[in-house]
């Protein structure tokens, strides 16, 4: 096997492969066309709690233990192996960290031997994997950071932040998804790689989804996690002011939305597969980005921003830094009154905006992956 410097293989610590689309999955999917990949499913960012969700997840992890070939991806090599590891999630003490690292290293080294990786690059998206650095025969370490973990909900902040600091020191290259995150690290080896878009998927005309409201009313839509970063009070006010509009929310709900459910014109459709989202975003009246102003949103670079642009419908958003390259295509609002006015303006826009689409036509995930590959080739 020819493991040239130009196509060094990868060992990737990310979330569970095949779950909700992530930038790590998108980039690695394209990078895997020219190199072998071992993908290690999530080792966790917090210790599990005694609750139904965590116990079910732990059981699923136990039953899924082992290495397996990833599902065949278009234009990708067959040399893609997924590991479901046995480990201790987000260990705290020295002894538990030592045991967790030893367990992980043993499982991964077996697969490295089977797949004959030589001098691979270690790609880490979860800081809790820092304890395996130097234990897998890697030739370089890349830290790919897409979140401000100190502000992210659902993680053990003290544990993850300390691991991240160690990882940033150990990494040969730090890649971030936003300029805010790049400034946070303030290192010469830190580079911003903003998120890409599956332009063909979101720009190719498609039929509307059958469950998208079709009652002759204008529709404002949002898809993604329905979490604490949404400004529910703002949404409640604009929904109250626009009773003749439909408000559609697509995604998993992880926060109390009873404030919105009380409105007759609100529709929670639940999660939808990523490839079906254009059936909604191309056909509703306006796409919403109604975020709170906090540290997590300041650092974010949401997938849906470029996907909304590729869909070509009006976009209405609260203010956050990642909007800056596209401000001419987005109605940025401050408060309910401005959002209501923007929605009323959007209701008069019947055509698809080709300029919006063209603004992200050159921002494909393949383009982003090619850029990442060039930086890795220099390591």
Whether the CB-CB separation of 42 and 214 falls below 8 Å is answered with: no
Q: Cα 328 vs. chain centroid, distance in angstroms?
A: 25
DSSP annotation of 285 reads S
Domain boundaries, the chain: 5-196+364-377, 199-359
Alpha-carbon gap, residue 315 to 285, rounded angstroms:
9
Identical fold at 5-196+364-377 and 199-359? yes
pLDDT tens digits, one per residue of 147-169: 887 777 666 778 888 989 999 99
Residue 147 is predicted with a pLDDT of: 87
Task: Tell me the pTM.
Answer: 0.87
Whether the CB-CB separation of 333 and 342 falls below 8 Å is answered with: yes
Torsion of Cα atoms, 42 then 44 then 49 then 52, to 10°: -20
Residue 42 is predicted with a pLDDT of: 84
Residue 29 is predicted with a pLDDT of: 94
Residue 14 is predicted with a pLDDT of: 92
Residue 52 is predicted with a pLDDT of: 56
DSSP E strands in the chain: the ranges are 10-13, 37-40, 66-69, 80-84, 121-124, 140-145, 173-176, 190-192, 219-223, 246-250, 266-270, 286-289, 315-317, 331-332
123: helix, strand or coil = strand
Residues facing residue 246 across a β-bridge? 219
Taking domain 199-359, whether its CATH number is 3.40.50.2000 is answered by yes
- List of residues 6+ apart from 64 with CB closer than 8 A: 41, 84
Residue 153 is predicted with a pLDDT of: 67
243: helix, strand or coil = coil
Provide the residue-wise pLDDT of the chain in tens; the chain has 379 residues: 444 445 799 999 999 998 778 999 999 999 999 999 999 998 865 554 545 544 454 455 445 555 555 555 444 456 899 998 887 776 677 888 888 899 899 999 999 999 999 889 999 999 989 999 999 999 999 999 998 877 776 667 788 889 899 999 999 999 999 999 999 998 889 999 999 999 999 999 999 999 999 999 999 999 999 999 999 999 999 999 999 999 999 999 999 999 999 999 999 999 999 999 999 999 999 999 999 999 889 999 999 999 999 999 999 999 999 999 999 999 999 999 999 999 999 999 878 889 999 999 999 999 999 999 999 999 9
DSSP E strands in 41-166: the ranges are 66-69, 80-84, 121-124, 140-145
Return the CATH number of the domain spanning residue range 5-196+364-377: 3.40.50.2000
Alpha-carbon gap, residue 205 to 202, rounded angstroms:
8
């Amino acid at each position: 096997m020819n493991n040239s410097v130009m196509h060094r293989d990868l060992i990737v610590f990310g979330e569970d492969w095949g779950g909700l689309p992530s930038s790590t999955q998108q980039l690695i999917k394209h990078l895997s066309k020219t190199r072998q990949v071992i993908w290690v499913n999530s080792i966790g960012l917090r210790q599990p709690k005694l609750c139904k969700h965590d116990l079910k997840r732990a059981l699923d992890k136990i039953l899924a233990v082992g290495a397996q070939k990833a599902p065949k991806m278009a234009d990708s090599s067959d040399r893609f192996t997924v590991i479901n590891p046995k480990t201790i999630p987000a260990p705290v003490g020295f002894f538990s960290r030592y045991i967790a690292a030893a367990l992980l290293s043993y499982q991964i080294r077996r697969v490295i031997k089977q797949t004959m990786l030589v001098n691979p690059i270690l790609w880490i998206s979860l800081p809790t994997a820092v304890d395996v650095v130097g234990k897998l025969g890697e030739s370089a370490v890349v830290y790919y950071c897409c979140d401000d973990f100190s502000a992210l909900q659902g993680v053990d902040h003290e544990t993850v932040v300390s691991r991240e600091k160690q990882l940033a020191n150990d990494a040969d290259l730090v890649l971030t998804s936003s300029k805010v995150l790049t400034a946070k690290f303030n290192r010469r080896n830190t580079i911003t790689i903003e998120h890409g878009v599956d332009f063909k998927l979101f720009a190719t005309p498609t039929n509307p989804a059958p469950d998208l409201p079709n009652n002759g009313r204008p529709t404002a839509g949002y898809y993604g996690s329905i979490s604490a970063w949404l400004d529910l009070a703002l949404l409640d006010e604009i929904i109250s002011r626009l009773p003749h509009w439909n408000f559609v929310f697509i995604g998993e709900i992880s926060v109390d939305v009873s404030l919105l459910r009380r409105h007759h014109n609100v529709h929670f459709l639940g999660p939808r597969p990523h490839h079906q989202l254009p059936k909604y975003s191309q056909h509703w009246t306006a796409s919403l980005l109604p975020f709170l102003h906090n540290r997590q949103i300041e650092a974010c670079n949401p997938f849906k921003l470029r996907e909304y642009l590729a869909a070509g419908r009006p976009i209405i958003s609260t203010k956050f830094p990642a909007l800056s390259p596209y401000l001419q295509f987005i109605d940025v609002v401050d408060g309910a009154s401005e959002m209501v006015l923007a929605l009323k303006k959007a209701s008069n826009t019947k055509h698809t905006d080709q300029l919006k689409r063209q603004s992200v036509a050159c921002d494909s995930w393949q383009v982003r992956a090619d850029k990442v590959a060039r930086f890795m080739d220099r390591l």
